[in-house]
Structure 1
Amino acid sequence: MLHTTLFDRRRPERQALRLGTGLGPHLSASLCALVALSGLFAAPASAQLELRPGPHSSSRALSGAASASVTTPRVTAELVALAPQGVGPGQPLWLGLSLRHQPGWHTYWKNPGDSGLPTQLSWQLPAGLSAGEIDWPVPHKIRIGQLANLGYENTVLLPVPVQVSRDWRATGDTLPVRLHAQWLVCREECIPEQADLALDVPVAGSTAAQAPAFAAARAAQPQALKGEHSARVAGQTLSLRIAGLPAAWRGQALELFPEDAEVLDIAAPSPARWDGAVWTTEVPLSAQRSSSPGQLTVVLPSPQAGSPAYRAQLSVQGEWPPVAAPSAVSPALSAALAANQATAARPEPLPASTPVGPLAWALALLGALVGGLVLNLMPCVFPVLAIKLLGFSRHSGADGARALRLQGLAYTTGVVLSFAALGGLMLALRAGGAQLGWGFQLQSPWVVAGLAALFTVIGLNLAGVFEFGHWLPSRVASAQARHPVADAAWSGVLAVAIASPCTAPFMGASLGFAVALPALQALAIFVALGLGMALPYLAVALLPGLSDGLARRLPKPGAWMQTFRQLMAFPMFGTVAWLVWVLGQQSGIDGAGSLLALLVALSALAWALSRPGAGRLGLSAVSAALLLWLGWALGPNLNPPPEAAPSAARNADAPAASGWAPWSEARAQALVAEGRPVFIDFTAAWCVTCQVNKRGTLANAALLKDMADQRVALLRADWTRQDPAITQALKALGRSGVPVYVVLRPGQAPVVLSELLSVAEVRQALALPPT
């Protein structure tokens, strides 16, 4: 579904672990259970369904098959029919689109007013049937700031008459009706939506369940007004005289809605008066008038409830002033409108995905493989690989080599299957309309807090504060030694879980590419990502030369391994500090402070459970009680309502402080329309690469000065919390995650820069002088 912000051409409207040998028994199974639990709430916390079956549709809608009704977060659209005497020549047949709007949202009339687009219907009917034009019900005026739109709120039915030819003969018991509908739904922001709807109308029986709705729609049609009407152009004003209106209307204030768009300024004050039975008014011409009609059709809504509206046709006298030159429309908006029109003209729905050529797919697989390799260098993943590789020093001989191969294959299987499962979940949610991308689980403060707790426990274990074997029955604690292959597979699952906060370079293009592919091709890219991450361990496990060489270069097992293990705790604690900062960006300083307090209590409980002697139970009980009390008291601070949570872009990137302003599609396109180049930083607090670029390239003083001298507008789109508008913008750019850097220039296509940003690349994209 195309999602972009649309602008009025005149005035823009805001539319728009068990980690390996030496870590303590059975850590992987215990911690993977925690990871699995956190995964249960990851998707619901951040997913926002954009399109789902409506109340009268079947489950086929989610799999791509058309149904009679669809529901988005803003509108429920339903295809309805009225054939009270069945379908046949000479029998009345009406079809229609019913739109039920959520509070605050509206769609548009045939003349949308100062902004917007009218709803468009493209029908597919059997031979011998032809659909007419929409019989538009009378709209009402919707004011947003200084603008005036004409449209519908609550529920509206757009009826369409259908003509059945005399020689038409039924070929079955039902008449198949297919409709491709497009509408623009707006509040302050605007979102283009579309749906493919299907309905089978009984041929012989009566279809009259929607008769009251069609009757109400007919009652809302304006009636033809007889009488002497006239209109005359005088300078920049059109004077109208309308006669024949009901006597009960006389003396009352009336509204006037022209059916022709971009002729009259309906938002401007229009003086009006009654001359006996004739109503006169003077309406300013639109400053962006695009036509000079010789005849003007206007609709006058009734000022009295229950009274019909009227439609008058007026011949225009006088000379129209020259029309205004069309103002420039941004390239992105032109492309969006062209795409909407092209889709509307297509009789068949677009396929959900398209296979690509072998070369493009191979490049995407290579990018994913390299991205997986780079993941091993991230601070939250490196300890896993390092400690796994240390295990090679304990294996020797044929049996040891065989055990290494089995564990290497098991670890790789765990990594690859975990990435495939995570990718499959994302693809399934997106296929159902969820607005999310790679890293979606970290947009939930609960997931961030859960990962911080997980890494705290891992760090405490690595530091030697406790051993899981002290907590568990001996049979459970010894399971790792009895099942080393299964333990290695669990280690792979856990490695993927703790790698999720670390968005590596080279992943953005491949994963953004993947979500537009057929399922099997897309999953192959996620498998390549997992294979890249597991490749170092797998290579050493399968190649005797590598494993023997590594074993020879490592010191003999001894006290140094315990020291190394404790040293690896500090990257984990560093990751915890970073996750606390991420949660602070999402939930504010109160959320970060509450998480720190809970982590301290969790650490105290882990320490108490590892104490020897009789005092262990008492200390553990007090620590557990403290943790539960803090969870009850401080837990709500971790995930406050979105309106109460601070905006990272607002707090950290205020324009006065750094030159950066929060991104919106409306702001970006308005700046481009002014002729200014725009640099957009799609970022998130949990994105490691984003923070590296932000504190490196994007903090370069010389670059920022040259940007300011060239009037480059700097916009930051913060995706730390789930944001459907940013998700759709990324999707339109062929990306599924952050970082993404985009340069917009008037009259040019958007330029997407690389994930690892350099000063030279930014200068080249913006045509700035090199340093």
Structure 2
Amino acid sequence: MERVGLWLALLALAFAGPVLVTPASAQGPGSDRMPVELVAEGIPQPGERWMVALHFTPSTPEWHGYWSNPGDAGLGMQLDWELPSGWNAGEPLYPLPQRLVIGGLMNHVYEGDYAVLVPITVPEGAALAGAGTIGLTVSYLACTDTICVPQQARMTLDPARAGADPRFGEWRVAIVPPLDSAARFEFARDRLRIGIPIPAATQLGAPHLFLATAELGGDDRPVYTGAQTFRRQGDLLVVEIPLEQRPLPPGVDAAGAARPETIAGILDLGDGRGVRFAAQPGDVPLEGVAPLEGSSDASLWQLLLAALAGGLLLNIMPCVFPILSLKALALAKAGGDARAARRDALAYTAGVVLACAALGGAILLLRAAGEQIGWAFQLQEPLVVAALFLLALAITANFLSLFTIPGFAISGGAPSRGGSFSTGLLAAFVATPCTGPFMALALGAALVIEPFHGLLVFVALGAGLALPFLLVGFVPAIRRRLPRPGAWMEQFRRWMALPMGLTAAALGWLAWRIGGGEWLALVLVLGAAAIGGLALIGLFQRRARGGTLSLFAALLAALSLGLALLPEPETPAGEAGASLLDPVAFSDAALAEARGSGRPVFVWFTADWCVTCKVNERVAIERETTRAAFEQAGVIAMRADWTRRDEEISRMLTRQGAAGVPLYLWYAPGEEAEQLPQVLTPELLVQRAQATDRSPPPRP
């Protein structure tokens, strides 16, 4: 009955899926496409393990066989033994498999001839002369890129007459050796995480993990074409394999499908080397484990300097520059008290550094808990975008003198330590959407190095953001060069409402992109209520009436309630905007398929809230010359839109050592990713495409 079920499965596979079976396969299984022979290592000895080999030889080079776990398609080998009493056949031992992607499906295959070894335990006192012959029926699948044919071979072997085959030494060397240390595995949301103890001195080429355990319990299945993430610290290699949920048959409860007690596989170390392992359930740490791809060899001091420079450049962003400018002018207006200037600068710096450190600490904690997030992750949350929109409106209204905030220098009054501290918090928070030059290296490394050192990187970023005002407060020569106070300062403050108003408009557009027109309308209603309430507060302030603090508290409570009652957008507002390059939407499977085409691939990671991304798109990507160069070179363009949280994109950013967007990757045919600069020049992509080898891509 079991044999009938096997052949029904073979025939169903042969006539279904992406493969095509010729009419010849319907005549019945044989072994003509990939003949197999049963070979012994020598005469068995009682009480010892005896090794036999199944040697497969394809009839022509286009045929291939399959590993025990064939991947997305195919069928593993089935063995039906007829052994003497007391004799037992162990699990087959395989050489290192190869990867073959056909039609977006990952196959674990062997091309060319290969041998699978099977250990057989011979009992003590076994009489070889009377044992008789061993029988074996092998059922397997032989395939080309277009045809799959079920194969079957019936073989016998007489142990008493088995001679030593000289090829056995070569076959034994090809078998993947076992790992002599225990591995661990755990499930982390949509990923399988495996910690494999590999000596730190082991050189890794392009590693890949072949998962032998295909059934993972519940409704999870491995995404074989997905991008695997490798991280390393000392003697520990951590591998993450993406998972997806598959529909279960009616009546089957996912919770009833238990997780496996052991997960086995083969780790391909590159250059034809590999180890096989069996992992047990256990904790697999990620803290301080650095990614293999995109990781930086920079020292901690280099990372801190890069973060400092990146924070310094944030000051020229349109949402930060008005705040910094008005802080400096308020200091000039306050007079020449050097001690007060230093206190004010330190309070502002404390607010900036505390905000950056708190944000960095939140990112590190969430990532340690398994969340795939990066810099500016809060802008992927609709309610945060709405709150920032209201905040930008309030700052714009303040710059237009609609109302004032006592103690805040940006309101035009004298600075205070509490107001300067709060202004620093504000400046750091509104600066988070930006990732500019120098920040990519530092923040990307901060997410994977030792957590304390990572937190220091975020502190350095805050110090860089606060550095200009810190210098104004502590260097008298700079303060003396500030413009003298006068009526022009009020006009300048009103002009600073323009960049802040543009920031509010950009956040409104982002709200529309995230939630659609109806959701934006609700946000605009809250914005109108906020402006109305602030105008009323300003009226009370100008008439010197009391109760303004109570009005502030009531307005804040009303707006907080309104934000809490906003419905959560179920889906993004729509597809990403049109592009001249007609890009493919990013996914691990789409990237694997594009790279398998033999054509160059350009992937750009962007978000609607990323100012640098939009500038690069306008300057270098969305250009007719770029489109023409890509078309001539056959470049596949792929866009990864990170406006809303996407864990596949987050994993890829982490794998490349990037903390956020923008990120630009160029894949030459057959090569790994090359990271392009974060600031693209107009001709960079055109030159990359023109330098591409224009020979026809290889046939899949």
Normalised to the residue count of structure 1, the TM-score between the two structures is: 0.52
- d(CA) in 2 for partners of 1:543, 1:596: 44
CA contact (8 A) 1:514 1:521 kept: yes
Q: Secondary structure at the match of 1:437?
A: coil
Partner residue in 1 for 2:346: 409
1:353 aligns with 2:353: no
Partner residue in 1 for 2:521: 593
Partner residue in 2 for 1:646: 573
Partner residue in 1 for 2:310: 371
Residue pairs, 1:238-317, within 5 angstroms? none
Partner residue in 1 for 2:447: 515
- d(CA) in 2 for partners of 1:567, 1:707: 43
CA contact (8 A) 1:594 1:634 kept: no
CA contact (8 A) 1:12 1:666 kept: no
CA contact (8 A) 1:401 1:544 kept: yes
- d(CA) in 1 for partners of 2:665, 2:273: 21
Residue pairs, 1:334-733, within 5 angstroms? 352-353=287-288, 360-397=299-336, 400-468=337-405, 484-550=416-482, 554-555=483-484, 557-612=485-540, 636=566, 639-642=568-571, 645-647=572-574, 650-653=575-578, 658-733=581-656
Q: What is the letter of the counterpart of residue 652 of structure 1?
A: G
- d(CA) in 2 for partners of 1:378, 1:731: 25
Q: What is the letter of the counterpart of residue 446 of structure 1?
A: L
Task: Return the offset for 1:515.
Answer: 0.9
Aligned CA distance change for structure 1 residues 758 and 488 (closer, same or farther; 3 Å): same
- Which whole-Å deviations, capped at 9, do the CAs of 1:92-121 have from their partners, x for residues lacking one? xxxxxxxxxxxxxxxxx9545634999xxx
- d(CA) in 2 for partners of 1:738, 1:148: 29
Q: What is the letter of the counterpart of residue 640 of structure 1?
A: P
CA contact (8 A) 1:505 1:689 kept: no
Task: Return the offset for 1:763.
Answer: 3.6
Aligned CA distance change for structure 1 residues 700 and 343 (closer, same or farther; 3 Å): farther
Aligned CA distance change for structure 1 residues 396 and 443 (closer, same or farther; 3 Å): same
CA contact (8 A) 1:12 1:670 kept: no
- Which whole-Å deviations, capped at 9, do the CAs of 1:668-692 have from their partners, x for residues lacking one? 1111111111100101111110111
Partner residue in 2 for 1:121: none
Aligned CA distance change for structure 1 residues 438 and 115 (closer, same or farther; 3 Å): farther
Partner residue in 1 for 2:237: none
Q: Secondary structure at the match of 1:704?
A: helix
CA contact (8 A) 1:679 1:713 kept: yes
CA contact (8 A) 2:185 2:283 kept: no
Aligned CA distance change for structure 1 residues 437 and 133 (closer, same or farther; 3 Å): farther
Task: Return the offset for 1:695.
Answer: 1.5
CA contact (8 A) 1:662 1:716 kept: yes
- d(CA) in 2 for partners of 1:605, 1:535: 35
- d(CA) in 1 for partners of 2:413, 2:559: 37
CA contact (8 A) 2:182 2:279 kept: no
Task: Return the offset for 1:449.
Answer: 0.4
Task: Return the offset for 1:741.
Answer: 0.4
Aligned CA distance change for structure 1 residues 481 and 606 (closer, same or farther; 3 Å): closer
- Counting aligned pairs with the same residue, the percent is 36
CA contact (8 A) 1:369 1:533 kept: yes
Q: Secondary structure at the match of 1:435?
A: coil
CA contact (8 A) 1:706 1:768 kept: no
Task: Return the offset for 1:584.
Answer: 1.5
Q: Secondary structure at the match of 1:193?
A: strand
1:194 aligns with 2:184: no
1:740 aligns with 2:656: no
Task: Return the offset for 1:191.
Answer: 4.7
- Which whole-Å deviations, capped at 9, do the CAs of 1:527-567 have from their partners, x for residues lacking one? 111111111111121112122222xxx13x22211111111
Task: Return the offset for 1:716.
Answer: 0.5
Q: What is the letter of the counterpart of residue 332 of structure 2?
A: S
Q: What is the letter of the counterpart of residue 362 of structure 1?
A: W
Aligned CA distance change for structure 1 residues 116 and 548 (closer, same or farther; 3 Å): farther
Q: What is the letter of the counterpart of residue 541 of structure 1?
A: G
Q: Secondary structure at the match of 2:183?
A: strand
- d(CA) in 2 for partners of 1:504, 1:339: 40
- d(CA) in 1 for partners of 2:515, 2:456: 36
Task: Return the offset for 1:570.
Answer: 1.7
Task: Return the offset for 1:573.
Answer: 1.1
Q: What is the letter of the counterpart of residue 438 of structure 2?
A: F
Aligned CA distance change for structure 1 residues 357 and 701 (closer, same or farther; 3 Å): closer
CA contact (8 A) 1:653 1:662 kept: no
Q: Secondary structure at the match of 2:658?
A: coil
Aligned CA distance change for structure 1 residues 353 and 456 (closer, same or farther; 3 Å): same
Task: Return the offset for 1:614.
Answer: 13
CA contact (8 A) 1:371 1:529 kept: yes
Task: Return the offset for 1:756.
Answer: 0.8
- d(CA) in 2 for partners of 1:339, 1:716: 34
CA contact (8 A) 1:117 1:183 kept: no
Task: Return the offset for 1:661.
Answer: 2.1
Task: Return the offset for 1:746.
Answer: 2.3
Aligned CA distance change for structure 1 residues 590 and 337 (closer, same or farther; 3 Å): farther
CA contact (8 A) 1:680 1:714 kept: yes
CA contact (8 A) 1:594 1:635 kept: no
Q: What is the letter of the counterpart of residue 716 of structure 1?
A: R
Once structures 1 and 2 are overlaid, which stretch shifts more, 670-679 or 355-364? 355-364
- Which whole-Å deviations, capped at 9, do the CAs of 1:84-143 have from their partners, x for residues lacking one? xxxxxxxxxxxxxxxxxxxxxxxxx9545634999xxxxxxxxxxxxx979xxxxxxxxx
- Which whole-Å deviations, capped at 9, do the CAs of 1:473-518 have from their partners, x for residues lacking one? xx999x9999922332222112111212233332122101111111
Q: What is the letter of the counterpart of residue 669 of structure 2?
A: P
- d(CA) in 2 for partners of 1:382, 1:670: 44
Task: Return the offset for 1:457.
Answer: 0.9
Task: Return the offset for 1:410.
Answer: 2.0
Task: Return the offset for 1:589.
Answer: 2.3
Q: Secondary structure at the match of 2:299?
A: helix
CA contact (8 A) 1:459 1:573 kept: yes
Task: Return the offset for 1:12.
Answer: 9.3
CA contact (8 A) 1:116 1:184 kept: no
Q: What is the letter of the counterpart of residue 533 of structure 2?
A: L
Please, what is the CA RMSD of the aligned residues?
Answer: 4.8
